[in-house]
Amino acid sequence: MTRPRRLTDVGRVLRAADAASPVDAVESVARELGAALDATDVSFLITDLSGRALVRLAHVVPSGRSADDRALEHGERRDDEESATVLPFDGGPLEQAVRAQSVQVLAPTSQAGQEQVGLWRVLAPVTERGESIGLLELFLPEEPDDDVVAEVAQVAHLLAFVVVANRRHTDLFEWGQRSRTFSLSAEIQQRLLPEARTCEASSFTLAGWLEPAARIGGDTFDYSLARDQLHLSLTDAMGHGVDAALTASVCLAGLRGARRRGLSLVEQSRVTNDALATHAVNCDGDDFVTGLVGRLELRTGHLEMVNAGHVAPYLLRGTELVHVDLRVDLPFGMFVETSYGSSGVTLQPGDRLVLVTDGMLERNVATVDVPGAIKDTAGLHPREVVRALADSALTAAGQALEDDATVLCLDWHGEHAGTRAAVSGADPDRASVPLEAGPES
């Protein structure tokens, strides 16, 4: 059999994506790759906002009267001509590819769909700086060799940038990721979080996760990378619902605005406190926010933090887990002109810092052994650590959290002067340990 021609002109792929509408850009890349490799089917599976599934996005071409002529598949929902089918993680190759950040090549199986029987299936992570955006799925008529697998991985990495660039112009990707309806407070909270929940750099890996309660509790996390510094925060606004979301908005806007003005960590805290206290007076309320605000010096590993009435961070160094001893000040927003001070710790290469909100510690999740869970997940990438900790809280609460459970995990590698060993958007040396063999997905 003649081998398929190689897709060597990456520029052509970029031109095709750029020429298409933002809602068609991913399909344009898929068509280019499919034609180059003689693939019978190419799909993009975006990561679900729950973090526990992938969602296959597709354009349903109307046949006859409407796109609704074709019956819905299991787990599928539609909006006009757009289709989204949820594929829950079950330990199979889909989850393996995301977790291990490695291309999965699956031999033909009779369990495939009618049109895919006898075809080879390739699953390639679509990742950007450690942020799992989804997977690229292809069905090929013959077993791919190493060159083809490497090519698919390269295009999957390129696809990550296509998604990042085009999602700014359309709700399609956000719609696909949402397998549940958002309340107004959840919508506000979602907009407060950084677009990328994970960031890999030469000197660190950072990942955050927020598991919302039924009545949004006002948690947020944030980070921003400067040339030689990493800024981060984890905050928990008092109350629930829209009021808590609005309080969290004032808090985060205060921190971000002060940070962007180049103020010190203590000044950022003071400005934010005064903004919240003034807001509470104007709204005839008593809203306040607990939080941790930090700045990591990437050249030295020194982490300076302000603790505004929050639970202390955990530090895992080797097999020893301790609370970081920080000065504790009043929560933000209680009194105007509250004084804040900072304290800190110097991280060593291999250290892991874990920040949590009290939603991980309150009585309806009291059975969760947070220190034990942090130790048990020591071999996982921070991206999987934060989700595993949130999963433990959900399980303990019977899937009904009384308060938001939020986790921020920072791994310090201490190589700021070096370069990151990236392969298709991820550092394979930092990836989570592979799953044990599971079912076909």
Q: What tokens appear for 179 in the block?
A: 């397998």
In the three-class reduction of DSSP (H, G, I as helix; E, B as strand; rest coil), residue 170 is classed as coil
Select from 307, 305, 304 the least CA-distant residue to 291. Answer: 307
In a domain, 290, yes or no: yes
Rounded distance between C-alpha atoms, residue 97 and residue 121, angstroms: 12
In a domain, 348, yes or no: yes
Q: Which residues pair with 223 in a beta bridge?
A: 232
Rounded distance between C-alpha atoms, residue 427 and residue 413, angstroms: 12
In a domain, 183, yes or no: no
Any idea what the CATH number is for the domain that residue 27 is in? 3.30.450.40
Both 290 and 173 in a single domain? no
Residue listed under structure tokens 């505004």:
308
Of 177, 194, 221, which residue sits at a domain end?
A: 177
Both 52 and 87 in a single domain? yes
Both 169 and 232 in a single domain? no
In a domain, 170, yes or no: yes
In a domain, 350, yes or no: yes
Any idea what the CATH number is for the domain that residue 275 is in? 3.60.40.10
Both 36 and 89 in a single domain? yes
Is the overall model pTM greater than 0.85, yes or no? yes
In a domain, 441, yes or no: no
Rounded distance between C-alpha atoms, residue 222 and residue 250, angstroms: 14
In a domain, 1, yes or no: no
Which amino acid appears at position 112 of this protein?
A: A
Select from 405, 430, 433 the least CA-distant residue to 51. Answer: 405
Residues spanned by the domain of 398: 202-419
Both 333 and 394 in a single domain? yes
Measured at the alpha carbon of residue 378, what is the angle toward residues 375 and 381, in degrees to the nearest 5? 140
Q: What tokens appear for 320 in the block?
A: 């020893």
Rounded distance between C-alpha atoms, residue 229 and residue 207, angstroms: 16
Both 217 and 311 in a single domain? yes
Domain tally, the chain:
2
Q: How many CB atoms lie within 10 A of CB 97?
A: 26
Both 214 and 294 in a single domain? yes
Both 253 and 393 in a single domain? yes
Both 81 and 217 in a single domain? no
Both 165 and 214 in a single domain? no
Question: What is the reported pLDDT for 284?
Answer: 63
Q: What is the pLDDT along the chain (441 residues), one digit of tens a residue?
A: 444 445 546 788 888 899 999 999 999 998 888 888 889 999 999 999 989 999 999 887 665 444 455 678 888 999 988 999 999 999 999 999 999 999 999 999 866 665 678 899 999 999 999 999 999 999 999 999 999 999 999 999 999 999 999 999 999 999 999 988 888 999 999 999 999 999 999 999 999 999 998 888 899 999 999 999 999 999 999 988 999 999 999 999 999 999 999 999 999 999 999 999 998 877 766 689 999 999 999 999 999 999 999 999 999 999 999 999 999 999 999 999 899 999 999 999 999 999 999 999 887 788 889 999 999 999 999 999 999 999 999 998 888 888 899 999 999 999 887 788 888 889 988 999 888 765 555
Give the pLDDT confidence of 137-164 residue by residue, as tens digits. Answer: 999 999 999 999 999 999 999 999 999 9
In a domain, 440, yes or no: no
Both 50 and 154 in a single domain? yes
**Do residues 1 and 149 make contact, with C-beta atoms less than 8 angstroms apart?**
no
Both 140 and 247 in a single domain? no
